[in-house]
Amino acid sequence: MTSTPVQLQEVVKQFSGRTVLESIDLNVHGGELLALLGPSGCGKTTALRIIAGFERADAGRVLIGGRDVSRVPASRRGVGIVFQAYSLFPHLSAEQNVAYGLAVRGLPRRERRKRAGELLELVGLAEHGAKFPHQLSGGQQQRVALARAFAVEPSVLLLDEPLSALDAFVRQQLREEIRRVQREVGTTTVLVTHDQEEALSMADRVAVMHQGRFAQIGTPSEIYRTPASSFVASFVGVVNRVPATINSNGRVGVLGAELTTSSAHRGEATALLRPEDLQIQPDPEGRALVTGTTLRGAITSIEVTWQDTPVRVDVPTGTATRFSAGDRVRITPAVDNVLVEKEAAA
Amino acid sequence: MSRFLRTAVLVLAALLFAVPLVSSGVFGFSLPTTGWTLDPLLGAVQNSQFRDQLLASLTLALLTTLAALALLIPTLLHLHLRLPQALPVAEALSVLPMVVPAVALVNGANLTFRATVPGFLTSMYSLVPFYVVLTLPLVYRSLDAGFRAIDLRTLVQASTSLGAGPIRTLLRVVLPNLRAAMLTASLLSVTLVLGEYALATLLLHNTYPVFLAQTGQDSPHAAAALAVLTLLGTWLLLSAFSLAGRRPRTGATT
């Protein structure tokens, strides 16, 4: 079992004068799976490529297992990587792909074949070793890529949006598969993704990136339940932006209720409320009006307007039949501490 | 376009291509007095210069192809990986040999090399650099298409992350995936050199096309027969290259 920590210390990166990473610090604990989550252009892939050695930081250090590898070439960092694009060598069979890194290390042919077979079995492709990449599905190709990366027993595994090219069903399957294999092998893993569901369901910790910086680093639950900023709240999950007023005692009035907030701001503001943190009741005297419903599987979203502000409330689909467009309802926040933005909602 | 029109165009094109070829064959393998015969051809191939000049051209074709591949593969690899913004400039430069007439190239070479390195142009191998320049537009395009057809950056980075150095990555990952493009480039280079007459004759070197031209003056029947055989040989070469460029369809073991 490998449990090598990875650290980025004050790493800066610029491209053509544009700062992509603004002196970031990151500690990835040994054996954990950390997800770098953020929108396109936030710097998450650049951070991953700096760890891999494909890019060199303009300033700062990269430490793998406590060793400064900032000047070590990619081929000697002991880092495995699974790419977004199918990166299998097209002229080699699945087994040969997995064995490639072992051949580089000079392992005898028999050992290479044995180890490649074991790894293909680990990812559920023991029967497909003789097939070429063009004979495998997208999901199978990424499984082989995962086995190939694990073959060289890397101290760190980097996953660069490995599921983004796959369809939803295969993506879900492979998410669980990658997590299972990563836990089994115990390799420290950094996953880059823009898919919040992927990050929250796979990672031990999530680092949300925004404009070259970390907006928040925490467990998936911390990121979702107690977002550090309105950006994190909006990017991870869905939020309603509702007009609010913070009085001199620090209490925030929102949707007719009074709640606490940790914000130091006073006066007009915008409260950020998740759809599942709102309770909805049929009430002919209610101040909110149902404008529509959207079935999302296990939950149904009830769209309402509250004093001209659109608000979404998520309820279990079984209870959603009580609401239909045109109904008057009462909505109540069901949270203790509410996140607010200084700017008032438009 | 109607089926009839498509067929008519196809037949017309086939005739346009086949009639001169068949006519050359008939002319080359027959004599007015004796009818069908191999005599003019046998007479030409028994000439000792035939073997020497064919061998010279084959050697030049081989050396030119190797030199062009050795020059262009690392160049294109570097451009695609490190300087993709320079690719349009490189592409424009690669067509320059097409706009410089062979006569101008030879005159320039004569003026430069006879004054600076007098012995250089006397060697037959001095044709190789000129042929590399001559084949540059076609070889460049074939290889460039090959590089564009693969996800080069990802493949190189995947190989690097598995511990491979640049040489191993080039030999074990890049070149195998460029096989089809390299074969096409080689075929074009070989056929172009085997048919190149202007540079060789202007620089006073005896190559196979020069032999064909000289034979044509003494025995036009033999020259026509040799030309038809040369064309058939090129077709066979093309087929062989095409077969060799095919990707294996079944699995292999490590």
Closest Cα to residue A161, out of A169, A171, A170? A171
| Least confident span in A105-109, A337-341, B70-74, B79-83 | A337-341
Residue B233: inside a domain = yes
What is the rounded CA–CA span in Å between residue A264 and residue A257?
A: 19
B253 belongs to a structural domain: no
**pLDDT reading at A43 higher than 90:** yes
- B/e letters for A109-126, b = 16+ CB within 10 Å, e = fewer, are eeebbebbbebbebbebe
pTM of the shown model: 0.81
Mean pLDDT of all residues belonging to chain B: 89
Tell which phi-psi region holds residue A15, choosing left (phi > 0), alpha (psi between -120 and 50) or beta.
beta
Whether residue B91 contacts residue B162, with contact meaning beta carbons closer than 8 Å, is answered with: no
Chain A CB contacts of B151 under 8 Å are 85-87
Tens digit of each residue's pLDDT (9 = 90 or more) over A236-265:
989 999 998 888 888 888 888 888 887 777
Q: Do A95 and B253 touch (CB under 8 A)?
A: yes
* CATH number of the domain within which B239 lies: 1.10.3720.10
pLDDT exceeds 50 at position B253: no
Tell me what the pLDDT averaged over chain A comes to.
Answer: 90
Q: Do A87 and B247 touch (CB under 8 A)?
A: no
Nearest CA in chain A to B152: A87
Q: What is the ipTM of this complex?
A: 0.81
Q: Say if the Cβ atoms of A95 and B176 lie within 8 Å.
A: no
A104 and B164 within 8 Å at the Cβ level: the answer is: yes
Number of neighbouring beta carbons within 10 Å of residue B72: 23
Q: Among candidates A281, A338, A286, A273, which has minimal Cα distance to A315?
A: A281
Mean pLDDT calculated for residue range B97-107: 84
- Tell me whether residues A81 and B161 touch, CB distance under 8 A: yes
Does B162 sit within 8 Å of A101, measured CB to CB? yes
Q: In what order do the strands lie in the sheet with A240-246?
A: A257-260, A251-254, A240-246, A267-273, A339-341
Contact B162 A100 (CB under 8 A): yes
Query: Is residue B43 a part of any domain in this protein?
Result: no
Q: Which uninterrupted H or E stretch holds A232?
A: helix A230-235
pLDDT of res. A93: 95
Q: Is the pLDDT of residue B32 over 90?
A: no
Edge-first strand listing for the sheet containing A299-306: A278-282, A328-333, A288-295, A299-306, A309-316
Interface test with chain A among B147, B151, B152, B162, by most A beta carbons within 10 Å: B162
A104: nearest CB among B162, B247, B254: B162
Rounded to an integer, the average pLDDT of B162-190 is 93
Q: Residues A158-207: pLDDT tens digits? A: 999 988 888 888 888 888 888 988 888 889 999 999 999 999 999 999 99
Tell me whether residue B2 is in a domain.
no
pLDDT, residue B1, reads: 65
* Yes or no, beta carbons of A130 and B150 under 8 Å apart: no
Q: Is the pLDDT of residue A118 over 80?
A: yes
Summarised one tens digit per residue, pLDDT across range B123-137 is: 899 999 999 999 999
Helix (H) or strand (E) holding A268: strand A267-273
Flag if B163 and A131 touch (Cβ within 8 Å): no
CA distance, residue A327 to nearest chain B CA (Å): 55
* Total structural domains within chain B: 1
pLDDT of the residue at A345: 54
* Residue A96 to residue B155, Cβ atoms within 8 A: no
Chain A residue set in contact with B, beta carbons under 8 Å: 52-54, 73-77, 79-81, 83, 85-91, 93, 95-96, 99-101, 103-105, 109, 112-113, 116, 129-132, 134-135, 145, 148-149, 151-152
Chain B residues with at least one Cβ partner in A under 8 Å: 150-151, 154-155, 157-165, 168, 172-173, 176-177, 179, 247-248, 250-254
Per-residue pLDDT, B248: 54
Residue of B nearest to A102 (CA): B162
Tally the C-alpha atoms within 13 A of residue B3's C-alpha that lie toward its C-beta. 0
Structure letter (DSSP) for residue A285: T
On whether residue B90 sits in a domain, the answer given is: yes
- Check CB contact under 8 Å for A112 and B155: no
- For residue B22, being part of any structural domain is answered with no
Average confidence (pLDDT) over A318-341: 89
Q: Does residue B39 sit within a domain?
A: no
- State the first-to-last Cα distance of chain A, in angstroms, to the nearest integer: 53
Quickly tell me which residue has 């210390």 as its tokens: A9
Q: Token pair 């026509």 is at which residue? A: B224
User: Does residue B69 lie within any of the structural domains?
Assistant: yes
Q: How far is B189 from chain A (nearest CA, A)?
A: 25
Cβ distance A206 to A218 under 8 Å? yes
Q: What is the dihedral of CA A326, A329, A334, A335, to 10 degrees?
A: 60
Give the gap in angstroms from C-alpha A131 to the nearest C-alpha of chain B: 5
Closest to B253 (Cβ–Cβ): which among A81, A83, A113?
Answer: A113
Q: How confident is the model at residue A1 (pLDDT cuts 50, 70, 90)?
A: very low
Q: Which of A210-214, A232-236, B4-8, B236-240 has the lowest mean pLDDT?
A: B236-240
Reported confidence tier of residue A114, pLDDT bands at 50, 70, 90: very high
Residue A51 has pLDDT above 70, yes or no: yes
Task: Provide the shortest C-alpha distance from residue B171 to chain A (in Å).
Answer: 12
Q: Please enumerate in sequence order all residues whose Cβ is within 8 A of that of A346, keeping only pairs 6 or more positions apart, or say none.
A: none
- Is the CB of residue A145 less than 8 Å from the CB of residue A86? yes
The answer to whether B253 contacts A112, with C-beta atoms less than 8 Å apart, is: no
pLDDT mean over A118-129: 90
Choose among B205, B208, B202, B201: nearest CA to B227.
B208
Please give the share of chain A, as a percent, with pLDDT higher than 90.
66
**Tell me, what's the pLDDT at A328?**
94
Examine the pLDDT at A107 and tell me if it is beyond 60.
Answer: yes
Domain span at residue B113? Answer: 50-246
Residues of chain A above pLDDT 70, percent? 98
The band of B254, judged by pLDDT with boundaries at 50, 70 and 90, is very low
Comparing B133 with A346, the larger pLDDT belongs to B133
Q: Which residue of A has its CA nearest to B250?
A: A131
Total Cβ atoms within 10 A of residue A308 = 6
Dmax (CA) of chain A: 80
Q: What confidence score (pLDDT) does residue A336 get?
A: 80
Identify the DSSP state of A287.
Answer: S
